[in-house]
Amino acid sequence: MPEWLKDTIFYEIYPQSFKDTNGDGIGDLNGIIEKLDYVKSLGANALWINPCFDSPFKDAGYDVRDYKKVAPRYGTNEDLIRLFETAHAKGIRVLLDLVPGHTSDTHEWFIQSSKYEENEYSGRYVWTTNAFEGIAGHPYISGMTERYGAYMLNFFASQPALNYGWLNRTEKWMSAVDSPEARATIEALKDIMRFWLDAGCDGFRVDMADSLVKNDDEHKSATAAIWREIRDMLDKDYPEAALVSEWSNPEQAINGGGFHMDFYLDHWHNGYNTLLRDYEANEEDNSFFKAKGKGDIMRFLDDYLPKYKATKDYGYISMFTCNHDTPRPARTLSVQELKLAYAFILTMPGVPFIYYGDETGMKFLDVRSKEGGYHRTGSRTPMQWDDSKNHGFSDCEPKDLYLPVDQSENAPTVSAQENDPESLLNTVRKLTALRHQYEDLQAASSFKPLYAVKETMPFVYERGEMVCAVNPSEGGIKIRLKEFRGKEPVFVIGRAVVENEVLIIGPQSFAVFA
């Protein structure tokens, strides 16, 4: 387990929308390099960059055409290597996005695999034997290739599934997990990982990590076995490299697959969603951080605690403010509510992720779909740096922007919040500084709810020797807990004091006591 993860705060960058340096309206690697000092000022010390590889961009780059080549619109491989070096010199690690489950249908492997003649890549993807034979229970396409057969999709129509074999094989064309063709896919994946690790990257965020072996068992044990093998490779040859999975089943991903971290994603009705995004799943939005105070921390804890307890000795659960697939939290939360939500995320165990722009409260915009974004596109708009043209994202003509910038009068920007100590941006900075200062607040220190009562505020939890309290509601509260004895606040949002064993916490407040 890389030690550095203990005190790491990630910042996710959607490269399209962070900073454009050559005026073509789309973000680029030089833009990320230019803004590394900003990342550092935020207290983030690691990046996750969404796929920046050659692609026809039918799914924003999650349809990779060449894993070993940076997409020309972002720069060159040399630029990416310079990004690694510049980031490292500033104490920032860089994770790339690895898409192991599928490629673009324009990837050379797929072009070869689609050919009538059998060749080295015939078994690289999942194919049936005949074009009139589908794949029960899975999406597939037929009629597009000279090869006889239908091929399985892993996501969109442009993303054929790579072949890692089938655990439960019911048809002749289903490869075994230890077949030569499934093994060849694993070796190809390792080769891509080695290529970028040798070039200086610090690991990978792994896309749809649970999607490799088809008809896997309920524990996804065959898929996990592949990741375990990859973890062994890392432990042996790249012990400092880190992997975070898009799996959202930490027991399977961490204990089973050997991932260092697993994202706690925003699945409807799950614990994470009840904190920031309770809407749509329920008639009324009772997200825990909403000021109306009708949230229920137990909806979160009942889901989270078993996951935390089962995995805490093996790896970390990663909570995020948002990601490129998720509505931005500012869609429904006010600035004060966001401060409390971020305070919570940044004082929980595991390794937290901040999505670019969430630190200023960037909004979820109503924009039309771009590159397969659909409803996700509203979270992918250009970073708002300042009040100059296109909010400082690009000096192109607005019509040439990759996605429109927030035109509203109160669009949050970095520059407007820079000098206000109470701004959301500076609150995030104080929170990240606090986390870096106290090991008790970092990834590996213990977590225990001290006061968590159904439909009742506040929520009080212990981290190591420290105590955190959050009261999202509009009413002040007093509670007595022996754990407060002798403690003083070291950080407060709103109002909070301790008198003997009594916590007096104001409306919409958060505090850490040591």
Could you tell me where the DSSP H helices lie in 351-423? Answer: 414-418
Phi, psi of 450 (to 5 degrees): -105, -35
- In the shown chain, the binding pattern of residues 285 to 324 toward ligand GLC, with x for contact by CB under 6 A and - for none, equals ---------------------------------------x
Query: Contact, 244 vs 318, CB < 8 A?
Result: yes
The residue whose two tokens read 């050997």 is 258
Residues 6+ apart with CB under 8 A from 218: none
Out of 34, 325, 465, 501, name the contact with ligand GLC by CB under 6 A: 325
Report the partner that residue 19 touches, choosing among ligand GLC, Ca ion, none (CB closer than 5 to 8 A by kind): none
Q: Which helix (H) or strand (E) holds 94?
A: strand 93-98
Query: Contact, 435 vs 445, CB < 8 A?
Result: no
Of 20 and 303, CB closest to Ca ion? 20
Of 14 and 342, CB closest to ligand GLC? 14
> Within positions 21 to 60, which residues make up the interface with ligand GLC, using CB under 6 A?
59
Cα dihedral: 135, 140, 144, 146 (round 10): -40
Q: How far is the CB of 260 from Ca ion (least distance, A)?
A: 32
> In this structure, are strands 477-480 and 502-505 parallel, antiparallel, or unpaired?
antiparallel
Out of 11, 62, 204, 247, name the contact with ligand GLC by CB under 6 A: 62
Q: How far is the CB of 19 from Ca ion (least distance, A)?
A: 8
- In the shown chain, the binding pattern of residues 27 to 56 toward Ca ion, with x for contact by CB under 5 A and - for none, equals -x----------------------------
Report the partner that residue 363 touches, choosing among ligand GLC, Ca ion, none (CB closer than 5 to 8 A by kind): none
Of 101 and 149, CB closest to ligand GLC? 101
Concatenate the DSSP letters of all residues of 299-317 into one string: HHHHHHHHHHHHHTTT-EE
20 lines the binding site for Ca ion (CB under 5 A)? yes
The residue whose two tokens read 């399209």 is 16
Q: Which residue is nearest to ligand GLC (CB)?
A: 62
14 lines the binding site for ligand GLC (CB under 6 A)? no
Q: How far is the CB of 478 from ligand GLC (least distance, A)?
A: 44
Report the alpha-carbon distance of residue 297 to residue 315 in Å, rounded: 24
Phi, psi of 77 (to 5 degrees): -60, -35
Q: How far is the CB of 379 from ligand GLC (least distance, A)?
A: 10
Q: How far is the CB of 155 from ligand GLC (least distance, A)?
A: 4
Query: Contact, 484 vs 501, CB < 8 A?
Result: yes
In a 10 Å sphere around its CB, with 0-12 CB exposed, 13-18 middle and 19+ buried, how is residue 116 labelled?
exposed
> Within positions 127 to 186, which residues make up the interface with ligand GLC, using CB under 6 A?
155
Q: How far is the CB of 367 from Ca ion (least distance, A)?
A: 19
Cα angle for residues 257, 440, 246 (degrees, 5° grid) = 25
What phi-psi label fits residue 124: left (phi over 0), alpha (psi between -120 and 50 degrees) or beta? alpha
Out of 1, 4, 7, 24, name the contact with Ca ion by CB under 5 A: 24
Judged by CB under 6 A, how many residues of this single chain contact ligand GLC?
9
> Within positions 203 to 262, which residues make up the interface with ligand GLC, using CB under 6 A?
207-208, 246
Q: How far is the CB of 28 from Ca ion (least distance, A)?
A: 4
99 lines the binding site for ligand GLC (CB under 6 A)? yes
In three-state secondary structure terms, 102 is strand
Q: Which residues bind ligand GLC (CB under 6 A)?
A: 59, 62, 99, 155, 207-208, 246, 324-325
